[in-house]
Amino acid sequence: MDSWESYKPAMAMVGLQMTYAGLAIFSRAALLKGMSPHVFAVYRQAIATLVIAPVAYVVRRKAGGGCSIGVRSFSLIFLSALIGVAINQNIYFEGMYLASSSMASASSNLIPAITFAMAAILGLEKVNLRQLRHIAKILGTVLCVGGAISMALLKGPKLLNSEFIMHKSSVSLLGGENWLLGCLFLLGSACCWSIWLILQVPVSASYPDHLSLSAWLCFLSSLQSAAIAIFLEPNPQAWIFSSYLELACCAFAGIVGSGITFFVQAWTVSQRGPLFPAMFSPLCTVLVTFFGTIFLHEEIFVGSVVGAIAVIVGLYVVLWGKAKDLEDTKKEMDQSEKTTTVQVLVDDSTKTTACICKRELEEPLLGDKLPK
């Protein structure tokens, strides 16, 4: 039973990465059909709100109420929804439309490295060039950034799908001329998600109810995304579904991509920490590249493959350094607990000895009953 419980987080993350891969493929298909990226973001969050909000309400009532939301909690959740969901998804879908689904998936592997760089700048992450694990984190970050630049700038010859003449013109139009712009959007999306991860520390401390927090994030981000879409998408026809594929993609993205994945990821982080989910990110990249080549006929370039490999290698180098940090922190905590335990035992032993000495001094030298 214990072994089965220990496998649950890993199984959840494998399923989550498969979900992300399907989400990337379906989203790219809907965008290629002509759906606006900004409208897609609004529908995704609105559907997610309609699904997860009633569930959160019922669970909260059965639990007899939960943690109350104050001004500070609401402000943090609002900022988290704005940066990590509304702005993030708008530029992410725009970048996916201009580049490709495989490029969008590969850019997500930059998140741990960017998060480490931001945390180091803010002083949340210690950097000591005399220790190997800190050097590994710096080198891994450089590898990730260098790989992302290679994916954006160094295309090279085509590896796959160079023979699809029907799809060649449309793909080159969307992913060739505007490839660099799409990569910049995806890089900005990774930065927004890294900021969102850093914000989760004060957000979770202020409002620890994960299910209600997901509902609030979906609700606020749907309003924020709607405000963004009104300014960036003035065409009213963009809000009308032109095919069942667009409707199905929005439903899948909202119910599974936002509603379920937010809760599963929060549960996994609470079980294994924030590094554990990041280790499964390359799996999504491989799946998206494979299915995108088959179903969407996306072109694969040598520069993209080399850059993706560099990003994945850099990701695991950063994760290795973070894992060593966690091991050292655990050792320090264990050593501190041992020291505290020994100190308590010494104090208790001293007190016991003192009590015995005091009792011996207070007792008379001869007992109450003298030998007759």
pLDDT tens for 291-325 read 777 777 776 777 777 877 887 888 788 778 777 77
In a domain, 97, yes or no: yes
CA–CA gap between residue 256 and residue 253 (Å, rounded):
6
Give the whole-number percent of the chain exceeding pLDDT 70: 76
CA–CA gap between residue 149 and residue 246 (Å, rounded):
32
At residue 372, the pLDDT reads: 41
**For the chain, give me the number of helices (H) and strands (E)?**
15, 2
Tell me phi and psi for residue 137, to 5 degrees: -65, -40
Mean pLDDT across 154-165: 57
Give the whole-number percent of the chain exceeding pLDDT 90: 11
| Tens of pLDDT, residues 19-54 | 888 888 888 888 888 888 899 999 989 998 998 888
pLDDT score of 334 more than 90: no
H/E element holding 301?
A: strand 300-301
pLDDT score of 368 more than 50: no
Length of the chain: 372
Give the chain's end-to-end CA distance (angstroms, integer).
69
In a domain, 197, yes or no: yes
More confident residue, 75 or 300: 75
At residue 220, the pLDDT reads: 93
In a domain, 309, yes or no: yes
Domain with 304 in it: 2-335
For residue 110 the two structure tokens come to 């930059």
In a domain, 174, yes or no: yes
- pTM equals 0.71
In a domain, 357, yes or no: no
The answer to whether the CB of 194 falls within 8 A of the CB of 118 is yes
In a domain, 191, yes or no: yes
The answer to whether the CB of 296 falls within 8 A of the CB of 28 is yes
pLDDT score of 196 more than 80: yes
In a domain, 354, yes or no: no
From 83-92, 224-233, 317-326, the region with the lowest mean pLDDT = 317-326
In a domain, 366, yes or no: no
At residue 159, the pLDDT reads: 66
Judged on CB neighbours under 10 Å (0-12, 13-18, 19+), 164 is middle
Those residues with Cβ within 8 angstroms of residue 256's Cβ, 6 or more apart along the chain or in another chain: 19, 23
Number of domains making up the chain = 1
| Tens of pLDDT, residues 115-135 | 778 877 877 777 777 788 878
At residue 370, the pLDDT reads: 36
For residue 43 the two structure tokens come to 């529908």
CA–CA gap between residue 62 and residue 347 (Å, rounded):
47
- The pairs formed by 122-126 with CB atoms below 8 angstroms and a separation of 24 or more are 122/198, 124/198
